[in-house]
Each structure stands twice: as structure tokens, then as C-alpha cells.
Structure 1
Amino acid sequence: MTIRELTFLRPLSHLAMLGAIALSLSAPAVAADAQRIVSVGGAATEVLYRLGVQDRVVGVDSTSLYPAEARDKPDVGYIRSLSAEGILSLSPDLIILEEASGPPETVAIIDKAGLKVAHVPSGYDLGGVPQKIRDIAAAVGKSEDGNKLAAEVDAELVDLKNRLAGVKTKKRVLFILSLVDGRPMAAGTHTAANGIIELAGAENVFADVKGYKTLSPEAAAAMKPDAILMIDRSSAPHEGEGLLSVPAFAATPAAATGSLFKMDALYLLGFGPRTGQAARELASKLYPDLNLAAAK
């Protein structure tokens, strides 16, 4: 995933001036009045578009790739390496920050800038996405529409959970974020990958570890995953090809069934309005006999 160039940023020396201007402003009394919104986080941006307030969005981060029209907005940088100056230079009256936003010092500057800031939790569980949608909708004065959208997503996730209730043996999934010199970087708990695996009715084989960790192929294969899950990368479209034929993985259950699946990163890990669809699609790959792809 590439980061769009920040062509609109002013020199860093203006940071203090921008901060002083922002501090002189009082936060809007009603969030619904916000007409210049900066959205940081692909899911947050997607929610704003679904709520129909995209014309009020004046800037997004580089993970805001869906819908495609969002890519035409000014880019304030990658969600984990934001510039306070880049955001403040857009003169926002509302800044929406997903939980992963950083670095901390940048977030601290934004919080002290005297502007309306909505911090949105990641929500990597069954109730997390609907709550995220409601929080964002409330911040932009679209609570009624947000409740409807949240109810739709909640219904999708609950329906999938019910359909998976009869699964007696959960599939064991290894999520590999990337391969570093042939060594897989696997996802443990407290990650979006762990969350989507659980929503799809499966078990994360690396759940004993928090966050991401690089492993040797032998250590990863020793977990005996039934399936390996990766993300599609435009910068590395062939990543993972041949992985199941690597000696360490060749004897795994995943290799025996050819179960290496790749899905779009934001769709799979964004935890936004499409999460119910993504979880169902992943579940349909893991449990093809349940015919989940055709379920309504």
C-alpha cells in the first residue's frame, strides 16, 4: 500500500503559527455544523461516504482507498505517521481519528489545537463496527442514518454468527501480514486480522501472542494451520506464491488442501461498513460446504 505524496504541506516552520491559530478557535458547539472534515482511517472515511457527507470531507489519510473517489481528496499521510501541520493546514472544523492514528505526539498536538476531534475505537469484535459507525455518525450530525447503517452491519454479523454456530471444529488460520526475507510476519491478538478470523468462525493459531511478530517458516508451520490468510498488495502482487510448497509448510493441513487465501487489505481489515461481507467471504472460503457465499 503506497502513500500518496503530500503536495500541499507548508514548511514545517509554520507549525507553531498554525497551532496558535487553531488554539484561538473554539470547538464547534454542535458537531453537525462541521463543514470541513479531515478523516483519518479507511473505515472512518468509508462510513462518511456511506452517510452521504463526502462533500464535507476536505482531507483523508492514505489508507482511505474506498470508495475510489476518496483518493481524490487531499492526503494527510499514513495513519500511523501523521503530520499535525498537514492536517491543520486544511483548516478543518472536525477531525476524525481512528484508534491507530499516530504518532502520539502528533495526536497530542491535534487534541490541543482547540478543534473538534472525534476519537474512534478500532472495534475488532462483533459489536465494535456498529458502534464505530454510530460514533462517526453522531460526530457529523447523522445519527439517524448512522443507526440504520449500524443496524445493517450488525444484522449481517449476527446472521453469520448464527450460520456458523453449528461448526464443531473451527478452522485454524495463520494470518501473514508480509514476508520479510522469507520469514512470515504473523498476526496475534489485538489485531484486525485476529478480529476478522474470529468473526469468520475460525481460530487464530497465533493467538498466544499480542500484535505482530516475525517468525521462522518452521515456527509458523509448526502451528499446523488449516489455512493461511494474506492481503493483496499492489506493491507485491506475487507475494506468497509458492509458500505452500516451501518445505516447512508443505506438510501443513493448509498445504494439503491448497488453502492460501488473499483478500483486499481495507476490505478484510478495515472494520467498516463492509466488514459483514468480508467476514462472510472469508468464512465461505474456510467452510465451503456451508454455502455461505450464496446466503442472504
Structure 2
Amino acid sequence: MDLGIEGRVAVVTGADSGIGWHTARLLLQEGVTVVVTDRDEEALTKAAAELDAAPDKLFAFAADVTDADSVAELAEKTSAAVGDIDILVQSAGVTGAQGLFHEIDDEGWASTVETDLLGPVRVVRAFLPALRRGGWGRIVLLASEDAEQPYVDELPYCASKAGILSLTKGLSKTYASEGILVNAVSPAFIHTPMTDKMMDKRADERGTDRDEAIETFLDEERPFMELKRRGEPDEVASVVVFLCSERASFVNGTNYRVDSGSVATI
């Protein structure tokens, strides 16, 4: 299917691995010029090399979404390299502070919100002028099943991702008249380095291996994931790229769940 975005320009945050990296790969396949960014410059350079794209189609600039100056510098470097962008995919995020509510202090809350909610705010704010100048744009923010179905041991993350859904809806109402469509994608338990770490920790705590940790996690913590497996990052990226495309020209202000049924309600 021709997605109608050949020749467009995109920025993808959180692109050194997982959903962000696979999103960049699919956008490149559609003929999009892509700027990838993440905090770890070494990891980002390696990830960009693995995308194996033509030098004039792929650019990599390290940036930290928790630092407003760093995000502003990213926007400046992007403008100098590719001009105004058409597509923004905000994928950078962390699991953040974990534990029951009474076990998490202000710092745990603040550090999680700083990355998972204020980070996207900074990124959108930095690139919105370029999107508005173009008169055609797509913004896709990565939320989570946790936004709609909170889990008691990671409430800072859940609250931050719920904020992303509200931010998405508000932005979609503000800028659709200028041709900018804004949507969210909410994955559940995807095979990424972040969930690898979660499962390795679970395996250590239970004296087992990662495969058994995944199996017991699905049975005990995610019983409504009917496919009984972790999702693959390209399964999420495919939905993200659709929302970036001309094929999604009447989709605005919505949240696409890519969760194997994990959220128990419709």
C-alpha cells in the first residue's frame, strides 16, 4: 500500500532501539527522510548505522528530552540539516519509579514525569513551528496501555501516560485546522530493551530465566493479552507509520491500542 509520504521529513525520538528504531526503519522504506534522536550518542550512532540508509535520507542527533536546551538544539540541528519537518514521532520514555504508591517519593514521581510527560511536551513545542509552517503534519505520541488500565506498582508511569492521552486530544483540537493531525499509540508489553530489563529483574527475583519470567508475567499480570506473548516492536511501528501517512487523513485525536487485548474494556 502506498502511504503517500514519500519525500516527507520526519523526526523520531527514542530511536536507538525498540519501537522508535523500527518506526524509523519503516518510514525510510516509505521514502521519508528521517532524523533519529536519543540520549545516548554512542547507541544512537550504532542504531543509525544499522538502519543502513543513504546519507542524505538519515540523520542522527543526540538529545535529552528532559533538557529543554538540548531539545531546542535538536530542533536547530534538524532545521539546518533537512529544513522543516512534516512528521513527529515521540517515542522516548522510561519505566520510571516503581513500587507501591506509599513507597515512591517526590523524586521518583518527578523524574518519571520529567521524561514521560514533560519530555513529549518539550519535543512537540520545539518542532511545532516547523509543522505549522508546512500546513501538513502528523504528530504521533507513544502512550501505553497503562494510561487506561493503571498498574499499582508503576503509578508515576501510568499517570504520565494518561497525561499523554490528554495532551494528544488537546493538541488534536488545537491544530487540526492547520492540517496537523495528532494521535497516540498505546502498546502493551512489547519486546524492547525496557521490557527485557523488567523481565530480567523478575527472573532474578524468582530464581528463574527470562522465558519463564515472561510466561508467569503474562499469566499473573497481563491475563487479557489473548495472544499470550510479547508484541514485537515492528507490530507497533506499523500502526505508528500508518498514522503518519496520507492514508490516515481522517484520523485525529484518537488512541490506537496495540496490546493483544490487554486493556479489558472497549
TM-score, length-normalised on structure 2?
0.34
Structure whose residues are more often helix by fraction: 2
Structure with bigger gyration radius: 1
- RCO greater where, 1 or 2, for CA within 8 Å and sep 6 or more? 2
TM-score, with normalisation over the residues of structure 1? 0.31
